[in-house]
């Protein structure tokens, strides 16, 4: 045997022996059951994967979340609706909003803000082949979600005279294609050095007997650890250190599936800073009690989000004397976070570690003979952290109302609610409102949907105010017609 192969062989045998023993003691020895038929590189890779698994953590999670009585148990005691700051048109104070906006703008001009998108999800409901951020989402040009965000971030950087760095979290599965997509599109006009990609952590998936699943005979089925994994990934990847080096202390967090999001919202940033908040959130009044948005609640002086699926009907449907839902505030996964909070939450202190949740999924695995098996129904459990579980740890959390039509229309499902079709229509309605605000007449149906499909580039305008201003400066404004792109 050549020297290197011999060295690898001896090393993998001793690592393997120690790992195998540890896994056997933890009741997970089956992970090595195909060892004899693996080639040396596969053995090395399997040992490397196995060495990263915290067996006592898996044991605890299996007991709690796979077998435990409280597999789906959530503490619902002492819940109260969480207060929020309303929009000016809904009773908020105009002067306070203006002051907050100005404060946010000053922070942007001082270069204190970075954008952050979590893009590590698998997008199974949408069923799109590729990272979700590459999904062609705009009505005419079919620009990708990533391009929409990039152009919004560029527009804000230009407006405030400071480059806004952009952190992008992927999973191990979609890291390469995501980076390649940005390279192929020349970073959509952003400075390459201002875009920072990093990968979130992984957790092994288990079957309903609590056994770690193999994806192939030589590979453990590792799955992304949820958007809550963002906090530790921001620390471990060096993103927080980069923020520190460049004087950034505010992170604007959004999800990859929502092209309407104001990636950079000065008023939101301003309210966050003014309150000395560590983590702030945007809310929408729920359309109805069953709308699939988490509920902002207060529980023993802490702000928490209770998922819609965990909220008992009697609470979700409760109304006040005006017939308004008591638990009105729905979460749309848009947050502002302070750097020091991320550092505290993403470190190794178990007192601040986020809980894991159970997600039942179809997990590619192998048969007893080692043949690939693609299940048709969920065959196991993934462990995921949720970013909103950080809220109870945050000091002075602010909850700010936003206008749905200007901030939220996610692409989650292939069809029906929150689908490419509803998102396209919501983009068209937003563009139409901007045109109307600029005094342009445009025919719409009763929902504000225009008769023609057109598009406004975020580089032309990214809000009603900026649109009205840019439109007024056009020497020859175009007629609004099918396929028009205003850029
Ligand atoms: P979703 O909860 O919609 O999950 O993610 P998903 O994986 O994208 O889609 P489905 O459930 O398989 O259909 C909400 C946001 O959190 C990110 C997603 O990329 C999306 O921006 N996310 C989710 C991560 O970054 N990592 C994860 O492990 C999970």
How far is the centre of ligand 1, averaged over its atoms, from the C-alpha of 227 (Å)?
Answer: 7
CA–CA dist 152, 146 (Å, integer): 10
Closest CA to 31 of 216, 167, 169, 203: 216
How far is the centre of ligand 1, averaged over its atoms, from the C-alpha of 460 (Å)?
Answer: 30
pLDDT of residue 350: 84
- Count CA within 13 A, CB hemisphere, residue 419: 8
pLDDT of residue 73: 64
| DSSP class per residue in 261-298 | S-SS-HHHHHHHHHTT-SEEEEEEE-SSTT-SSEEEEE
Question: Containing H/E element for 360?
Answer: strand 357-361
pLDDT of residue 15: 82
Other Cβ atoms less than 10 A from the Cβ of 399: the count is 20
235 lines ligand 1 (CB under 6 A): no
- Contact criterion met (CB below 8 Å) for 425 and 140: no
**In a 3-state reduction of DSSP, which class is residue 86?**
coil
Closest CA to 425 of 465, 464, 463, 453: 453
pLDDT of residue 8: 52
pLDDT digit string, tens, across residues 240-251:
999 999 999 999
Closest CA to 165 of 263, 75, 93: 263
Question: Containing H/E element for 195?
Answer: strand 195-199
Q: Which of 227, 254, 293, 386 to mutate to test the pocket of ligand 1 (most atoms within 8 A of CB)?
A: 227
One digit per residue, the tens of pLDDT, for the chain of length 487 reads 555 555 555 556 678 899 999 999 999 999 999 999 999 999 999 999 999 999 999 999 999 999 986 545 688 999 999 999 999 999 999 999 999 999 999 999 999 999 999 999 988 899 999 999 999 999 999 999 999 999 999 999 999 999 999 999 999 999 999 999 999 999 999 999 999 999 999 999 999 999 999 999 999 999 999 999 999 999 999 999 999 999 999 999 999 999 999 999 999 999 999 999 999 999 999 999 999 999 999 999 999 999 999 999 999 999 999 999 999 999 999 999 999 999 999 998 888 889 999 999 999 999 999 999 999 999 999 999 999 999 999 999 999 999 999 999 999 999 999 999 999 999 999 999 999 999 999 999 999 999 999 999 999 999 999 999 999 999 999 999 999 999 9
- Contact criterion met (CB below 8 Å) for 132 and 421: no
pLDDT of residue 6: 52
pLDDT of residue 249: 98
Predicted structure pTM score: 0.94
Q: Which of 116, 118, 120, 121 to mutate to test the pocket of ligand 1 (most atoms within 8 A of CB)?
A: 121
Closest ligand 1 atom number to CA of residue 170: 25
122 lines ligand 1 (CB under 6 A): yes
Question: Containing H/E element for 400?
Answer: strand 399-401
């Amino acid at each position: 045997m050549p020297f290197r192969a011999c060295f690898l062989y001896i090393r993998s045998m001793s690592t393997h022996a120690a790992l195998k023993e540890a896994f056997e003691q933890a009741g997970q020895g089956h992970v090595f059951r195909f060892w004899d038929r693996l080639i040396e590189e596969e053995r090395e890779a399997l040992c490397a994967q196995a060495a990263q698994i915290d067996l006592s953590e898996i044991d605890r999670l299996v007991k709690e979340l796979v077998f435990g009585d409280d597999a789906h148990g959530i503490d619902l005691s002492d819940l109260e609706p969480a207060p929020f700051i309303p929009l000016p048109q809904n009773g908020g104070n105009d002067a306070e909003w203006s002051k907050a906006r100005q404060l946010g703008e000053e922070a942007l001009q001082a270069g204190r803000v970075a954008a952050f998108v979590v893009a590590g999800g698998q997008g199974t409901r949408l069923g799109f082949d590729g990272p979700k951020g590459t999904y062609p989402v705009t009505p005419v040009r079919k620009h990708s979600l990533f391009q929409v965000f990039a152009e919004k971030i560029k527009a804000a950087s230009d407006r405030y005279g400071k480059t806004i760095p952009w952190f992008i979290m992927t999973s191990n599965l979609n890291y390469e294609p995501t980076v390649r997509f940005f390279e192929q599109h020349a970073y959509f006009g952003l400075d390459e050095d201002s875009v920072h990609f990093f990968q979130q952590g992984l957790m092994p998936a288990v079957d309903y007997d609590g056994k770690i699943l193999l994806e192939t005979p030589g590979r453990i089925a590792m799955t992304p650890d949820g958007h809550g994994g963002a906090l530790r990934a921001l620390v471990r990847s060096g993103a927080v250190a980069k923020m520190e080096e460049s004087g950034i202390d505010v992170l604007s967090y959004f999800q990859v599936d929502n092209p309407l999001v104001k990636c950079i919202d000065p008023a939101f940033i301003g309210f966050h800073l003014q309150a000395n908040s560590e983590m702030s959130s945007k809310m929408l009044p729920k359309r109805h009690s069953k709308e699939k948005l988490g509920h902002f609640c207060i529980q023993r002086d802490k702000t928490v989000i209770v998922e819609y699926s965990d909220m008992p009907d009697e609470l979700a449907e409760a109304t006040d004397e005006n017939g308004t839902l008591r638990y009105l505030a729905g979460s749309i996964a848009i947050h502002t976070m302070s750097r020091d909070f991320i550092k505290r939450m993403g470190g190794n202190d178990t007192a601040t570690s986020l809980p894991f949740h159970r997600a039942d999924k179809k997990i590619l695995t192998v048969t007893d003979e080692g043949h690939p098996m693609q299940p048709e129904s969920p065959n196991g459990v993934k462990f995921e952290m949720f970013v909103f579980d950080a809220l109870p740890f945050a000091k002075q959390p602010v909850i700010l109302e936003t206008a749905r039509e200007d901030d939220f229309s996610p692409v989650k499902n292939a069809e029906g609610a929150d689908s490419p079709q509803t998102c396209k229509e919501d983009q068209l309605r937003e563009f139409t409102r901007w045109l109307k605000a600029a005094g342009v007449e445009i025919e719409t149906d009763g929902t504000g949907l225009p008769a023609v499909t057109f598009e406004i580039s975020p580089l032309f305008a990214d809000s009603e105010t900026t649109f009205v201003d840019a439109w007024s400066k056009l020497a020859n404004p175009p007629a609004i017609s099918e396929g028009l792109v205003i850029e």
